[in-house]
């Protein structure tokens, strides 16, 4: 091909080799990078969970010392939250928002590249703290002072890596907002957008609102440690509880950052496989917005035992209970979407149904935890651990997996192996319940969280939980295998992929061209 | 994909699920929250049961509808999709009904919360202070004051001996309270945040440096009640249990008198001199329960986290500086100030021990009088 001819072809494909990935500004490439990075971090964080469950398999100290155990719980949380779940959602946003809206790319492609490429450096730095004097961070992912100030050389590196993750998230969020508000195809009004786009728009605003709060809080820790301030030191006139207020003002909206896009994914998948439009589209949008609004008013339910005034405890209890209303609306809408549908149960649908069922169980335990007088018993026990793993593993991660199976044929042009996908779902679902359901019992019986060793009355359920954990961990290797083999080949997918799928992304070829919707489609 | 595999996968896995349920049923103890022994614990328990049953009821309705739909509205059964997708009336109903259910829960919860937070009119006040990793109890009116640390032997923790039934839930000095009295705890901490929790007493409160939190309980049945620190507080967070012993009033009074006698004996120790051998023996005990968690029994510490005392700069330097560091701690590190935690004789003994153990062999002796002078 002559130079002139190549120049005339404006629809150029990707650059070749490694530079394609380093310099890419293409939303599909960046989406892929985010998703693969997230998968890698899922296994790194998962390996740490295996260390935790191995140590807790039997009472007594067997494999690791208590300090390293605390490092594992801290790092597992930081990596799973900031390295696995959040990048997976940003990856999905990158891949899907432009092709769902009929846009050619994200609005700010160079910033998009930057916001991804910060992450590998942030996590390399975070993981490198494991090898520093004094070990990695061991004060819990919540970084409560004064304990966190006892961290060794790792401390400033942990803070800086959190700053970098925050920077990346904020840039990703800005990109999402700008893309959604400016780059919709003609006729795509806000209330015609797919629900995944809606939930991401709201999530992006949450991110922009709270990531700077986290950055501020950890910077105050940094100055307390190195520059003689006393924000959180009672001896210097500061207030250790203030950190918790600031942290959870970030932390509770963060919880919804981790679940709202999951709601969006499930709201795309259930109508497809029920072959029936989503029930109550506008109430879904309003419910999502209500949950996001309420998320700013409930932070202190993480702190019922710090000794708040009665009026404060009552306010946060009532506000927290209120969240059950919009969340309930969403669950009812999903069930109504299935009702009188014509359902089939391919792997994405199985994971979406697993999500609805088990996320609701996590919702119930959440409602129980909201009741302050009983939370005094549940707080900081394995009941809480069970609760947030139900909403994060069988909630957020199940939705991500559902989304991966749902869109993988579109992304790669190849169908995944349905039999293996079903095995992955059923094995995961059984083992995740063997892993986390007994933890409810442990918490109710009185086992505190974050302990490396426990009294012998807790032995049986810890054994069961650990066995479930190892099996769940192994099962996820199957997921990695399915994803990789689908990328490499397989039965060709049609453009429509799923019989009942609706939306602009299914009008594109599978896989879509490197540059799609260079001319905007018109939505009627 | 064949229809045959479709059927087989769930069947195999259901079998596995049943097996694991059998395992759960075989576990020895209850699955539910402990009812507890105090008024507030029982109130929390009944609230817990109320909310649990409400959740179960909602769950039956929601999951019932979901599974009915999954079983019946499937394409393989020839179901044809209806196309309805909204109903304002239904949306309003399932916004209002949950709201009313929540109000039904909030009323008893509010009542319980008000009762739990009412620490007035107590009969007895104990100040509880959390340390890394032990608890201090000061009976404000009785003058009793002691530390309470884990008494489980290291051999059991490191699996060199069989674990006893109270493994990790046993202490050297339990908190003793009279039955039938309203006991108020004033809870604080000396270093990092801890949380005082005994499940059977129905309440936990954070122990926060610079703050005093309050909680109360009344126990009607004499007995021993065990709990643990519930807020991550560093390396030995899992190793700072709480034991409360409730006794009849007369037995409690005897216990208070004994404690006061022991305190007098300890005070007398501060006024006499000890031999090197006495100090070394006593120092080793003090070291094991107060210092070994960080600096290790062999004095070698943990590189990067806790300095070695064996051949250390401080332990082989001037005795006065060594004593001052132990008494005042080191700001910004985990090294606590022990002046308030140990008496003169114990401080003298532990400093002497550290200066002469593990081949440090400084040969000098620190007497209680020197500690008294340094205070």
Task: Find the mean pLDDT for residues B261-270.
Answer: 83
For residue A512, give the nearest of A117, A18, A99 by alpha carbon.
A99
Would you call B24 and A464 a contact, using CB atoms and an 8 Å cutoff?
yes
How many angstroms separate the CA of residue B370 from the nearest CA in chain A?
Answer: 28
**In this structure, are residues A137 and A155 in contact, taking their beta carbons and an 8 Å threshold?**
yes
From A32, A169, A347, A365, active-site residue: A169
At residue B124, the 3 state secondary structure works out as strand
Among B26, B72, B98, most A C-beta atoms within 10 A, so best to mutate, is B98
Would you call B163 and A456 a contact, using CB atoms and an 8 Å cutoff?
yes
A282 touches chain B (CB under 8 A): yes
Task: List B125's β-bridge partners, or say none.
Answer: B184
Nearest residue of B to residue A499, measured between CA atoms: B75
CA distance A313 to A300: 8
Among B13, B91, B210, the residue with its CB nearest the CB of A240 is B210
Answer whether residue B244 is part of any domain.
Answer: yes
pLDDT-based confidence at residue B8 (cuts at 50, 70, 90):
low
Question: What pLDDT score was predicted for residue B15?
Answer: 52
Helix intervals (H) in A339-417: 347-370, 372-378, 382-391, 398-412
B263 and B292, same domain (yes or no): no
What are the residues whose beta carbons fall under 8 Å from the beta carbon of B141, sequence distance 6 or more? B124, B125
Q: List CB contacts (< 8 A) between A339 and chain B.
A: 65, 69, 73
CA distance A378 to B34: 11
B249 and B294, same domain (yes or no): no
Would you call A153 and B231 a contact, using CB atoms and an 8 Å cutoff?
no
Nearest residue of B to residue A238, measured between CA atoms: B210
Q: Work out whether the CA dihedral A339, A342, A345, A348 comes out positive or negative.
A: negative
The C-alpha angle B113, B118, B119, rounded to 5 degrees, equals 135
Q: List CB contacts (< 8 A) between B106 and chain A.
A: 317-318, 321
CA distances from B285 to A270, B271, B292 (A): 66, 20, 10
Among A134, A377, A446, the residue with its CB nearest the CB of B305 is A134
B168 and B262, same domain (yes or no): yes
Would you call B98 and A324 a contact, using CB atoms and an 8 Å cutoff?
yes
For residue A512, give the nearest of A181, A37, A115, A103 by alpha carbon.
A103
Residue burial A387-408, b: 16+ Cβ < 10 Å; e: rest: bbbbbbbbbbbbbbbbbbbbbb
B93 and B150, same domain (yes or no): no
For residue A338, give the nearest of A284, A402, A279, A274 by alpha carbon.
A274
The model's pTM:
0.90
Among A74, A146, A300, A309, most B C-beta atoms within 10 A, so best to mutate, is A146
pLDDT-based confidence at residue B164 (cuts at 50, 70, 90):
very high
Q: Check pLDDT > 70 for residue B16.
A: no
Strands B241-247 and B223-229: antiparallel
A20 touches chain B (CB under 8 A): no
Which of B62, B95, B118 delimits the end of a domain?
A: B118
Answer whether residue B3 is part of any domain.
Answer: no
B334 and B275, same domain (yes or no): yes
pLDDT-based confidence at residue B361 (cuts at 50, 70, 90):
confident
Question: What pLDDT score was predicted for residue B192?
Answer: 94
CA distances from B174 to A202, B141, B188, B292, B303 (A): 52, 18, 18, 21, 34
Q: Packing angle between helix A195-226 and helix A86-101, nearest 10 degrees? A: 140
B105 and B154, same domain (yes or no): no
How many angstroms separate the CA of residue B271 from the nearest CA in chain A?
Answer: 33
What are the residues whose beta carbons fall under 8 Å from the beta carbon of B109, sequence distance 6 or more? A317, A371, A372, A373, A374, B47
Which of B221, B241, B267 delimits the end of a domain?
A: B267
Q: Give the containing element (helix H, strand E) for B187.
A: strand B182-189
Question: What pLDDT score was predicted for residue A12?
Answer: 66
Would you call A380 and B9 a contact, using CB atoms and an 8 Å cutoff?
no
Domain containing residue B327: CATH number: 1.10.760.10
Range of the domain at B216: 124-267
Which of B235, B267, B299 delimits the end of a domain?
A: B267
| Catalytic site includes residue A267 | yes
Cis peptide, bond prior to residue A511, ω within 30 of zero: yes
| Catalytic site includes residue A20 | no
| Domain assignments of chain A as residue spans, ordered by start | 24-507
CA distance B357 to B179: 46
- Architecture of domain A24-507 in this structure: Up-down Bundle (1.20)
Q: List CB contacts (< 8 A) between A331 and chain B.
A: 62
Answer whether residue B344 is part of any domain.
Answer: yes
Q: Packing angle between helix A459-488 and helix B3-26, nearest 10 degrees? A: 160
Within 389-448 of A, beta carbons closer than 8 Å to B belong to: 418-419, 422-423, 426-427, 430, 433-434, 437-438, 441, 444-446, 448
Task: Find the mean pLDDT for residues B192-214.
Answer: 94
Nearest residue of A to residue B195, measured between CA atoms: A305
Question: What pLDDT score was predicted for residue B3?
Answer: 42
CA distance B350 to B344: 10
A6 touches chain B (CB under 8 A): no
CA distance B165 to B107: 40
Q: Is B363 left (phi over 0), alpha (psi -120 to 50) or beta?
A: left
Residue burial A411-432, b: 16+ Cβ < 10 Å; e: rest: bbbbbbbbebbbbbbbbbbbbb
**DSSP per position, A149-210:** GG--THHHHHHHHHHHHHHHHHHHHHHHHHHHHH-PPTT--GGGS-HHHHHHHHHHHHHHHH
Record the tokens describing residue B261, joined without a space. 């006698």
**In this structure, are residues A174 and A263 in contact, taking their beta carbons and an 8 Å threshold?**
no
Would you call A444 and B33 a contact, using CB atoms and an 8 Å cutoff?
yes
Among A63, A145, A147, most B C-beta atoms within 10 A, so best to mutate, is A147
A241 touches chain B (CB under 8 A): yes
Would you call B81 and A340 a contact, using CB atoms and an 8 Å cutoff?
yes
Domain containing residue B208: CATH number: 2.60.40.420
Question: What pLDDT score was predicted for residue A11?
Answer: 57
Among A419, A427, A450, the residue with its CB nearest the CB of B13 is A427
Instruction: Give CA torsion, residues A337, A339, A344, A346, to 10 deg.
Output: 50
Q: List CB contacts (< 8 A) between B235 and chain A.
A: 65-67, 70, 138
Nearest residue of A to residue B21, measured between CA atoms: A434
What are the residues whose beta carbons fall under 8 Å from the beta carbon of B292, sequence distance 6 or more? none
CA distance B221 to B36: 11
Among B59, B102, B112, B115, most A C-beta atoms within 10 A, so best to mutate, is B102
| Catalytic site includes residue A375 | no
Q: Work out whether the CA dihedral B83, A282, A522, A261 comes out positive or negative.
A: negative
Above pLDDT 90, what percent of chain B? Answer: 51
B153 and B235, same domain (yes or no): yes
Would you call B168 and A455 a contact, using CB atoms and an 8 Å cutoff?
yes
pLDDT-based confidence at residue B28 (cuts at 50, 70, 90):
very low
Within 437-496 of A, beta carbons closer than 8 Å to B belong to: 437-438, 441, 444-446, 448-457, 460-461, 464, 468
Domain containing residue B105: CATH number: 1.10.287.90
CA distance A84 to A35: 9
Answer whether residue B226 is part of any domain.
Answer: yes
B237 and B263, same domain (yes or no): yes
B49 and B159, same domain (yes or no): no
Question: What pLDDT score was predicted for residue B6?
Answer: 46
pLDDT tens digit sequence for B209-230: 999 999 999 999 999 999 999 9
From A55, A224, A254, A505, active-site residue: A254
Question: What pLDDT score was predicted for residue B62?
Answer: 95
B155 and B239, same domain (yes or no): yes
Burial class (CB within 10 angstroms; exposed 0-12, middle 13-18, buried 19+) of B234: buried
**In this structure, are residues B365 and B345 in contact, taking their beta carbons and an 8 Å threshold?**
no
B241 and B315, same domain (yes or no): no
- DSSP state for residue B38 in the 8-state scheme: S
CA distance B187 to B229: 12
Mean pLDDT, chain B, integer:
87
CA atoms within 13 A on the CB side of B88: 0
| Catalytic site includes residue A21 | no
A125 touches chain B (CB under 8 A): no
Task: List B74's β-bridge partners, or say none.
Answer: A343
Q: Check pLDDT > 60 for residue B18.
A: no
Among A235, A328, A376, the residue with its CB nearest the CB of B203 is A376
Task: Going from the first residue of chain A to its last (524 residues), give the mean pLDDT of each consecutive group of 10, the final group possibly shorter.
Answer: 46 79 94 97 97 95 93 96 96 96 95 96 96 91 93 93 96 96 94 96 97 96 94 92 96 95 97 95 95 95 94 95 94 95 96 96 95 95 96 96 97 96 97 96 94 93 96 97 94 93 93 92 85
At residue A43, the 3 state secondary structure works out as helix
Q: What is the ipTM of this complex?
A: 0.90
Would you call A430 and B16 a contact, using CB atoms and an 8 Å cutoff?
yes
Within 298-317 of A, beta carbons closer than 8 Å to B belong to: 305-307, 310, 313-314, 317
CA distances from B215 to A192, B129, B183 (A): 54, 13, 8
**In this structure, are residues A347 and A422 in contact, taking their beta carbons and an 8 Å threshold?**
yes
Question: What pLDDT score was predicted for residue B25?
Answer: 46
Instruction: Give CA torsion, residues A369, A371, A373, A377, to 10 deg.
Output: -10
The structure tokens 């060793």 sit at A453
CA distances from B102 to A303, A518, B218 (A): 21, 51, 30
pLDDT-based confidence at residue B303 (cuts at 50, 70, 90):
confident
Answer whether residue B16 is part of any domain.
Answer: no
A121 touches chain B (CB under 8 A): no
**In this structure, are residues B371 and B340 in contact, taking their beta carbons and an 8 Å threshold?**
no
């Amino acid at each position: 091909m002559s130079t002139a001819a190549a120049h005339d072809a404006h629809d150029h494909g990707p650059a070749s080799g490694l530079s394609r990935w380093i310099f890419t500004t293409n939303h599909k490439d960046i989406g892929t990078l985010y998703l693969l990075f997230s998968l890698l971090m899922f296994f790194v964080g998962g390996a740490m969970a295996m260390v935790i469950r191995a140590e807790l398999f039997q009472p007594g100290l067997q494999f690791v010392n208590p300090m390293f155990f605390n490092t594992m719980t801290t790092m597992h949380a930081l990596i799973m939250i900031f390295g696995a779940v959040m990048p997976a959602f940003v990856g999905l946003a990158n891949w899907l928002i432009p092709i769902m809206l009929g846009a050619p790319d994200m609005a700010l492609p160079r910033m998009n590249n930057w916001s991804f490429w910060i992450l590998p450096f942030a996590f390399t730095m975070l993981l490198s703290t494991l090898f520093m004097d004094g070990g990695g961070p061991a004060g819990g992912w919540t970084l409560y002072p004064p304990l966190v100030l006892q961290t060794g050389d790792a401390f400033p590196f942990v803070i800086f890596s959190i700053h970098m993750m925050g920077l990346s998230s904020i840039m990703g969020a800005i990109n999402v907002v700008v893309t959604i508000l400016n780059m919709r195809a003609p006729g795509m009004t806000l209330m015609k957008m797919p629900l995944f786009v809606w939930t991401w728009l709201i999530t992006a605003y949450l991110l922009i609102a709270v990531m700077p709060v986290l950055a501020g809080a950890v910077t105050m820790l940094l100055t307390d440690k190195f520059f003689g301030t006393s924000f959180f030191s009672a001896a210097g006139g500061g207030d250790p509880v203030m950190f918790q207020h600031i942290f959870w003002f970030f932390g509770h909206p963060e919880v919804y950052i981790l679940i709202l896009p999951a709601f969006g994914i499930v709201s795309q998948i259930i109508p497809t496989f029920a072959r029936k439009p989503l029930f109550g589209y506008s109430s879904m949008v309003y419910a999502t917005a209500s949950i996001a609004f309420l998320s700013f008013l409930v932070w202190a339910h993480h702190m019922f035992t710090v000794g708040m005034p009665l009026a404060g405890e009552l306010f946060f209890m009532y506000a927290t209970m209120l969240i059950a209303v919009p969340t309930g609306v969403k669950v009812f809408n999903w069930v109504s979407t299935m009702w009188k549908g014509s359902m089939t149960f391919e792997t994405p649908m199985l994971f979406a149904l697993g999500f609805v069922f088990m996320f609701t169980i996590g919702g119930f335990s959440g409602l129980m935890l909201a009741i302050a007088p009983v939370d005094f018993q549940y707080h900081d026990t394995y009941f809480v651990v069970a609760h947030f793993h139900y909403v994060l593993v069988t909630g957020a991660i199940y939705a991500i997996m559902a989304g991966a199976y749902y869109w993988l044929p579109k992304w790669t042009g190849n169908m995944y192996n349905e039999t293996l996908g079903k095995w992955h779902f059923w094995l995961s679902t059984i083992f995740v319940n063997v892993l986390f359901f007994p933890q409810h019992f442990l918490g109710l019986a009185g086992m505190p969280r974050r302990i490396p060793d426990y009294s012998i009355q807790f032995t049986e359920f810890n054994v069961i939980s650990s066995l479930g954990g190892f099996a769940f961990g192994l099962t996820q290797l199957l997921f990695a295998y399915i994803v990789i083999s689908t990328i490499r080949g397989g039965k060709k997918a049609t453009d429509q992929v799923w019989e009942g799928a609706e939306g602009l992304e299914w009008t594109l070829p599978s896989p879509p061209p490197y540059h799609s919707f260079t001319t905007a489609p018109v939505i009627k | 994909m064949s229809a045959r595999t479709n059927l087989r996968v769930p069947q195999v896995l259901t079998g596995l699920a049943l097996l694991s349920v059998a395992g759960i049923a075989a576990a020895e103890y209850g699955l539910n929250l402990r009812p507890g022994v105090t008024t507030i614990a029982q109130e929390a328990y009944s609230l817990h049961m109320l909310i649990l049953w409400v959740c179960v009821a909602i769950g039956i309705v929601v999951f019932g509808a979901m599974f009915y739909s999954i079983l019946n509205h499937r394409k393989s059964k020839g179901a044809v999709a209806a196309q309805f997708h909204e109903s304002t009336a239904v949306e309003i109903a399932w916004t209002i009904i949950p709201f009313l259910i929540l109000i039904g829960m909030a009323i008893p919860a509010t009542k319980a919360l008000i009762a739990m937070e009412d620490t007035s009119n107590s009969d007895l006040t104990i100040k509880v202070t959390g340390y890394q990793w032990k608890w201090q109890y000061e009976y404000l009116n009785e003058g009793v004051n002691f530390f309470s640390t884990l008494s489980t032997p290291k051999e059991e923790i490191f699996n060199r001996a069989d674990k006893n039934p109270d493994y990790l839930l046993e202490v050297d000095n339990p908190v003793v309270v009279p039955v039938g009295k309203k006991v108020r705890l004033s809870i604080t901490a000396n270093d990092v945040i801890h949380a005082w929790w005994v499940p059977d007493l129905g309440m936990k409160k954070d122990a926060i440096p610079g703050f005093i939190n309050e909680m109360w309980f009344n126990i009607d049945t004499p007995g021993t009640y065990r709990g643990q620190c519930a807020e991550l507080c560093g390396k030995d967070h899992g190793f700072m249990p709480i034991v409360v012993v409730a006794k009849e009033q007369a037995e409690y009074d005897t216990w208070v008198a004994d404690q006061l006698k022991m305190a007098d004996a300890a005070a007398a120790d501060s006024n006499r001199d000890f031999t090197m051998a006495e100090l070394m023996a006593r120092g080793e005990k003090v070291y094991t329960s107060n210092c070994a968690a960080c600096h290790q029994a062999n004095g070698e510490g943990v590189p990067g986290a806790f300095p070695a005392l064996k051949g250390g700069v401080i332990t082989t330097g001037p005795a006065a500086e060594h004593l001052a560091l132990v008494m005042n701690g080191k700001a910004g590190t985990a090294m606590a100030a022990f002046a308030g935690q140990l008496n003169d004789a114990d401080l003298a003994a532990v400093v002497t021990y550290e200066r002469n153990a593990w081949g440090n062999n400084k040969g000098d002796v620190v007497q209680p009088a020197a500690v008294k002078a340094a205070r």
